A and B are shown apart, each in its own frame.
Chain A
Amino acid sequence: MKTFIGIDLGSTTTKAVVMDERQTVLGRGITNSRSNYDTAATIAKQEALVAARFFLFRKTLSGAVDGDLDGFLAQLERDFRLEQYLEQLADLEQVCERNVATAKFGDAAAGVAAALKTLFSLLQKEAPALFAPGARRKSDFFRDIAGAQYLALGEQVAKDASVRYDMLLNVFDRSIIEVENRVYDASIKTHLLAALERAFVALPHTRAFSERIRKPIQSVLDTDMDETYVVGTGYGRARLPFSKEHIRSEILCHGLGAHVMYPDTATVLDIGGQDTKAIQVDRQGIVESFQMNDRCAAGCGRYLGYIADEMNMGLHELGPLAMKATKTVRINSTCTVFAGAELRDRLALGEKREDIMAGLHRAIVLRAMSILARSGGIRNEFTFTGGVAKNEAAVKALTDLVRENYGEMTLNINPDSIYTGALGAATFAWRAVMEEGKTAEAREKVAA
């Protein structure tokens, strides 16, 4: 089947969206951008294609599974993630072993190698629990999951084996980048089939109709997903292995993506990790004008990340804390560097953390309001995208300020808004082929 793929290489995460000939979104994928955009793009795309297979499973299995199809597919996906995780874990173990051999640990090397063996067998044993129903993971990226486990279990292992914990950490740090940057493309089908077997074990009642499931799944796996046209966007777009024809600015992609999600969108606000964009689009999703922050990333997502670090909290915890505020402390500086100083200053004055948080969120949105004003103001409907749109306190501050300044508006926020740029890119890919009759082009020779 023909697929049209959009990849958005952001500063923090890389996202991909796959759609079919009817512009149905088949799958979405996300990964951390790491320092390697090539890998990030490949992995995000692969994740989206995996999600696309799951979409097709759902379609083909409807009716084949008696009862809870959602439950079955969720189990299948968890098992698939577990298979993936185990493969990467085995890879990580090998790389760690190799790195112990070359590390200058002197007499301690043998002890560290032995401790690693113990540690990895523990990690393997603990793995299924990570992907059990209802298990909470802080992140879905291998580096984060494996890293957290390694840190947690490693301490006791080091103690028991009387090796230095920092040596174990050193080995991890030296190995993770290599593993993280590997693409496990070939094993996806095998993993899916292995996951299927696991799912039958986990959900014994499904065994009764396993043959009804196996066949359609196999046929989906045998369906060739042709990457008909790929469009790349985002800050890392120049790194993508495509010709210029396949590259679009993220401003155009966000504009079009927002239009696809909400066809009545007139104004788009995107607050990402490093920039804030205000975009005006026409009825077809074509960008009419745009404004963005200049060289300073004040008031962008990174500002919240910095505040979270200062407060020793997770990024996703900031919004809920701010929602508990009983008043809004006035914060004037959205300068990321000054943020810590502002924060400590208010704390020293005896202000409550939640009230300060409410102030910080308002400060970010105030800056966005100024950029919106520069772009021509807010028109109905208004769509808010980017990582910060997931933050309820930012949304609340925005809703209040929009009402105060522009009156009642329809404010659209899609739960998948992080994929807006990639969705726009995929739509461009679709248009290129279906409307403009283009075919894929190889990358022009770029001097290394």
Chain B
Amino acid sequence: MNTKTAAKKEVVKEDAMWLQKEMINRNYHEVATAREAGRKVSATFVPGNLNELLMCFDFARRLPETDALQNGLRKKSGKMIMDAERDGHSEDVCTYVKSDLGMMLQGQVGPTGEPMPHPDLLLLSYTGCFTFMKWFELVRQKYDCETVMLHVPYQGDGKISPAMRDYVVKQLKEKVIPTCERISGVKFDIDRLREYMKESVKAEENLVRVLQSAKHRPSPIDGYFGAVYYIGPMFTAFRGVADATRYYEVLWSEVEARIKEGKGPVTPEGDHPGEKYRLVVEGPPNWTSFRDFWKMFYDEGAVVVASTYSKVGGVYDFGFRHDASRPLESLAEYCLGCYTNLNFPQRIDMICRYMDEYQADGLLINSIKSCNSFSAGQLLILREVEKRTGKPAAFVESDLVDPRYFSAANIKNRLESYFQMIKQKRMAVAA
């Protein structure tokens, strides 16, 4: 058995990663000290995150899913989940929810060890995940937080109609903005929103460049394990912030340099050992064993060239950009276009397009035990993509932040089988 003591080795990080770490810590500090600074705290979800709008009201911004995943990465979520279960939540409930509730039960200390105050406003931007609604309902009930809901219609027909967009804009104007004004005590200024959005677009351009760099051979990035870092600022409290623009400039220049040098992605143990398999991945990653999971890929020479999870907080690679000239409409379109709000044919089209454009060898689905929103229909997606592309697909199962649901031996076995299957198929085609 290979039992290298990798844990003690210094983790290899790119400059942009250090920058991001500093930004995240700073944001947690802002949330922790918001009350002292006289600021209100908002909480909202990654898909449909209206960050620029919340910034217009000077909210310190929390994102409960990222709190949960940060706690997962820091190996703190297991106890939180068990506390939430003791408080009456079933084993089958989304573990992001339980991790969040458990964190509050444990005395409201955030992932970085700083206090995590209750939000003053829960902005429920509902973009396809039903659990989000129940999650905020629970938080509201327990901590008496005010909630405002933005109902984003599902793209059941696979397109955004003007009526859908107008419906979202109307809610923004009549409900969301007045509530934000009342709670924050700050008057809405649409020009301020426009300025933030202009900043967003700059960052979005570079994010897309980075994600699409995986079309190169070898890919200079990992479009899943690496991309979850790359999307960090964009999907959380930083879209529209100048820091994020700078982050993406630094990141892009790093990636550009890797392309020129013909280098593969950076892994926690250094440069990727060499690209043998190019994969598209559907489904969120596991956070509690994130590095072990990733290692199973790069040890075998697998690189993820595109993933759907890196689009949950906004699908930018097919052309959408925030538009400062029509700010509210653009926010509405952003919400309507989130990955979680897409119907199955759209998701399948998206994956097939990735398979083609990124020259992938196959599709891998990581099915999350406690996430019905993602898991429902995944096998149908798998079948259909197999059928359309003729490329092999595989299925592994784990969980978001519940360490009990990560069976390393089982996952490794399936991944190795899958990689060997791709190799064998390739040989058969060559013969």
Contacts and interface: CB of A to CB of B under 8 A. Distances in A.
Given A252-B417, A374-B379, A295 B424 contact: no
Contacts of B393: 289
Contacts of A248: 420
Given A249-B416, A252-B421, A287-B424, A447 B4 contact: yes
A290 interface: yes
Nearest to A238: B1
Given A235-B409, A235-B413, A295-B410, A249 B420 contact: yes
Interface in A259-296: 275, 282, 284, 286-292, 294-295
Contact of B417 (A238, A249, A288, A374): A249
A294 B2 contact: no
For chain A, the bracket of interface size reads 20 to 34
B268 interface: no
A239 B393 CA distance: 28
A292 B424 CA distance: 20
Contacts of B386: 289
A282 B424 CA distance: 12
A447 B2 contact: yes
A294 B409 CA distance: 10
A251 interface: yes
Contacts of B410: 275, 292, 294-295
Most buried by B among A248, A249, A284: A249
For chain B, the bracket of interface size reads 20 to 34
B29 interface: no
B397 interface: yes
Contacts of B395: 291, 374
A275 B413 CA distance: 11
A448 B424 CA distance: 30
A260 to B, nearest CB: 15
Most buried by A among B379, B383, B420: B420
Most buried by B among A235, A294, A374, A448: A294
A225 B428 CA distance: 30
Given A286-B428, A290-B394, A447 B417 contact: no
Interface in A216-268: 235, 238-239, 248-252
Interface string A293-321: 01100000000000000000000000000
A290 B417 contact: yes
Contact of A294 (B392, B397, B424): B397
A376 interface: yes
Interface in B1-43: 1-4
Interface in B343-389: 369, 379, 383, 386
Nearest to B382: A289
A239 B386 CA distance: 34
A135 interface: no
Contacts of A291: 395
B407 A287 contact: no
B2 A287 contact: no
B interface majority secondary structure: helix
Given A252-B421, A446-B2, A447-B2, A289 B394 contact: yes
Contacts of A374: 379, 395
A287 B427 CA distance: 13
A290 to B, nearest CB: 7
A344 B128 CA distance: 45
B374 to A, nearest CB: 16
A251 B392 contact: no
B216 interface: no
A292 B416 CA distance: 13
A295 B407 contact: yes
Nearest to B427: A436
B417 A239 contact: no
A338 to B, nearest CB: 15
A376 B383 contact: yes
A284 B332 CA distance: 52
A289 B394 CA distance: 7
B417 A287 contact: yes
A433 to B, nearest CB: 15
Contacts of B392: 288-289
Nearest to B299: A244
B417 A286 contact: no
A122 to B, nearest CB: 42
B421 A287 contact: yes
Interface string A343-387: 000000000000000000000000000000010100000000000
B198 interface: no
A284 B92 CA distance: 41
A181 B395 CA distance: 38
Interface in B44-76: none
Contacts of A447: 2-4
B175 interface: no
A284 B420 contact: no
Contacts of B414: 251, 290, 292
A179 B420 CA distance: 37
A327 to B, nearest CB: 33
A286 B379 contact: no
A376 B387 CA distance: 11
B229 interface: no
A235 B1 CA distance: 12
Contacts of A286: 421, 424-425, 428
Contacts of A294: 369, 397, 407, 410
A284 B379 CA distance: 25
A268 B379 CA distance: 19
Contacts of A275: 410
B2 A284 contact: no
Contacts of A251: 413-414, 417, 421
B428 A284 contact: yes
Contacts of A239: 1
B226 to A, nearest CB: 25
Interface string B401-431: 0000111011001101100110011001000
Most buried by A among B393, B394, B397, B417: B417
Contacts of B413: 235, 249-251, 292
Interface in A65-95: none
Contacts of B417: 249-252, 287, 290
A42 B4 CA distance: 26
A292 B394 CA distance: 11
Interface in A432-448: 446-448
A292 B410 CA distance: 9
Contacts of B383: 376
A319 B424 CA distance: 38
Contacts of B379: 374
Contacts of A284: 428
Nearest to A244: B300
B283 to A, nearest CB: 14
Contacts of A290: 394, 414, 417, 421
A287 B413 CA distance: 15
Interface of B: 1-4, 369, 379, 383, 386, 392-395, 397, 405-407, 409-410, 413-414, 416-417, 420-421, 424-425, 428
Which 5 A/B pairs are nearest by Cβ-Cβ distance?
A: A295-B407, A249-B417, A251-B417, A294-B397, A287-B421
Given A290-B414, A292-B410, 11 more contacts: A238-B1, A238-B2, A249-B417, A251-B414, A284-B428, A289-B386, A289-B392, A289-B393, A291-B395, A295-B407, A447-B3
27 contacts: A235-B409, A235-B413, A239-B1, A248-B420, A249-B417, A251-B417, A251-B421, A252-B417, A252-B421, A252-B424, A275-B410, A282-B428, A284-B428, A286-B421, A286-B425, A287-B424, A288-B392, A290-B394, A290-B414, A290-B417, A292-B410, A292-B413, A294-B407, A295-B405, A376-B383, A446-B2, A447-B3
